[in-house]
Structure 1
Amino acid sequence: MTVSHNVSLTIDGDRAHVALDRTDKHNGLTIDMLNELVRVAGVIGKRSDVRTVILSGNGPSFSSGLDVAKAMGNPLDVVRNFVPLPWRGTNTFQEACWAWRRLPQPVIAVVHGRCYGGGLQLALAADFRFVTPDSEFSVMEAKHGLIPDMTGAATLSRLIGIDQALLLTMTADPVDAAYAERIGLVTAVSADPRAAAEQLADRITARSPHAVAAAKKLFDRTWQTSARRTLSIERATQLPLIVRQVLGRDRNAK
């Protein structure tokens, strides 16, 4: 197992296990963690022996989202990581999630506890989500006067429909696992989501790796709008909101 910047990677045979490991902060995401998620996904993508990936969070929660206070402690670092790389079409915040969609291997998220904001967008970037009955979900960016900008615009409405996506985004209300399953936000609720994830990984591994990779690529490429275009719009919409927050001009955000 390797651990760097509160992200661990273990490769066990044909399976990669990736875990967020900032347990004292409910795996609140730092910019270092986002960069490490990008790096780890790159490592896995080069491993033809890895057939499936299980993504989880250690401690009491999957992830409470971006640690805004820590990130804003270094505004220049935020700015640097907000700028997209032209050849990739994403910035660091987006690539930390989208890198998992780029992988040819299927990614299965195991979720428990809080799954908020950027943490939810990371889980949505997985191909499947198995969650505990007591897990809780929130598109919480509106509480900070922002929108989801870590690829949520490219995943949320496509999974649950635009009305439910707007409802969760505009209200920032938390929802429980049963509701999340009912609207299609998660794949399944399970008393033992890790076991469910391992079982699915076993079933997928029994199939042709080329067919599995082709199926993932097929459905990603045939979603309604190109991901690159959607993520560009996402950044452009978020930028003036960030500026308002920095200047302290959004008085209505609670």
Structure 2
Amino acid sequence: MSDLSRVHFRTKNNIAFVSLNRPEKHNGLDEQLFRELIGTAKRIRKDKSIRAVVLSGEGESFCAGLDFKALQKNPMMVPKLFLKLPWTSANNFQRVAYIWKTLPVPVICAVHGNCFGGGLQIALGADYRIATPDSKWSIMEVKWGLIPDMSATTTLTTLTRYDIAMELTMTGRVFSGEEGYQYGLVSNISDTPLADAEALAEVISQKSPDQVAATKLLFRKTWKAGPRLALLWERWIQTRLLGRKNQSIAMKNGLAGKDKPAKPFADRSLF
């Protein structure tokens, strides 16, 4: 565990485990939790030995969204987090969710209990979401007369249909993890999402970290892009992979016909 009071962080077998740690508030987002989540993601980006991330919440919920009581006590929280520096593409409201999408390792989110508002947008920023069937989800910003502004416009569009996104955003209704699976917002349903997330992370951690990072970058850059741009990215990324140390190791392991690598991969060197 780290000494961060709002986020628990540990690594095991090249997997980073990140858990929101305000269980008494259903992991409601206050300014400190925003900053610690972003700081943890930056720490993961710099650690080239990490192969995958498991993101979860302590206590009864994954994340119940913005903590409005904390906001009332700290009215400067919104302007501080909403302000965008000129040389950045996102403010901290957006970054806390979208930063997981930009990491060079896959992020697998385990969801239970409430997943509302900002919590839902953080979950959508992950690459894969495993949820309990009875978990509760809501794009809840309409309750406050607001739109979702923590990068949902970049994630909803790749996961679900236009009409579903419109209806969920305009009504703010609560839907189950089972319904979220039907909508494309949940990747898989499980009674043990955290254990399943770890199992998937372990499988991915046995693959070439350069290939995994390249795959994530390729799909982020080309998903729903036209063929000219997509094919350009394919060629450029493949050129970067060819002949590198981890690609050579993958070739040797593949020729040996082993599911688990006979020779361990080196730390990530790309992206």
Counterpart Cα distance in 1 of 2:68 and 2:165: 22
* Amino acid of the structure 2 residue aligned with 1:84: K
- Unaligned runs of 5+ residues in structure 1 are 226-254
* Amino acid of the structure 2 residue aligned with 1:156: L
Give TM-score, length-normalised by structure 2: 0.80
Give TM-score, length-normalised by structure 1: 0.85
- Unaligned runs of 5+ residues in structure 2 are 226-271
Alignment pair present for 1:90 and 2:87: no
* Amino acid of the structure 2 residue aligned with 1:192: T
> 1:113-150 CA deviation, whole Å, 9 max, x = no partner?
00000000000000000011221100000011001001
* Amino acid of the structure 1 residue aligned with 2:9: L
Choose 136-145 or 201-210, whichever is displaced more: 201-210
For 2:65, the equivalent position in structure 1 comes to 65
Higher-Rg structure is 2
1:88 is displaced (CA, Å) by 2.5
1:73 is displaced (CA, Å) by 2.8
For 1:218, the equivalent position in structure 2 comes to 218
* Amino acid of the structure 2 residue aligned with 1:48: K
Counterpart Cα distance in 2 of 1:198 and 1:13: 11
> 1:209-244 CA deviation, whole Å, 9 max, x = no partner?
11110110111112458xxxxxxxxxxxxxxxxxxx
DSSP-derived class of the 2:147 partner: coil
Alignment pair present for 1:132 and 2:132: yes
1:157 is displaced (CA, Å) by 2.5
For 2:118, the equivalent position in structure 1 comes to 118
Choose 169-178 or 198-207, whichever is displaced more: 198-207
| C-alpha contact (below 8 Å) 2:98/2:125 kept by paired residues | yes
Counterpart Cα distance in 1 of 2:147 and 2:99: 20
Counterpart Cα distance in 1 of 2:32 and 2:66: 11
Choose 112-121 or 193-202, whichever is displaced more: 193-202
For 1:236, the equivalent position in structure 2 comes to none
DSSP-derived class of the 1:2 partner: coil
DSSP-derived class of the 1:75 partner: coil
| C-alpha contact (below 8 Å) 2:20/2:56 kept by paired residues | yes
For 2:77, the equivalent position in structure 1 comes to 77
Counterpart Cα distance in 2 of 1:222 and 1:87: 24
For 2:147, the equivalent position in structure 1 comes to 147
| C-alpha contact (below 8 Å) 2:15/2:202 kept by paired residues | no
- Considering only aligned residues, what root-mean-square deviation do their CA atoms show, in Å? 1.3
The runs of at least 4 aligned residues of structure 1 exceeding 6 Å deviation read none
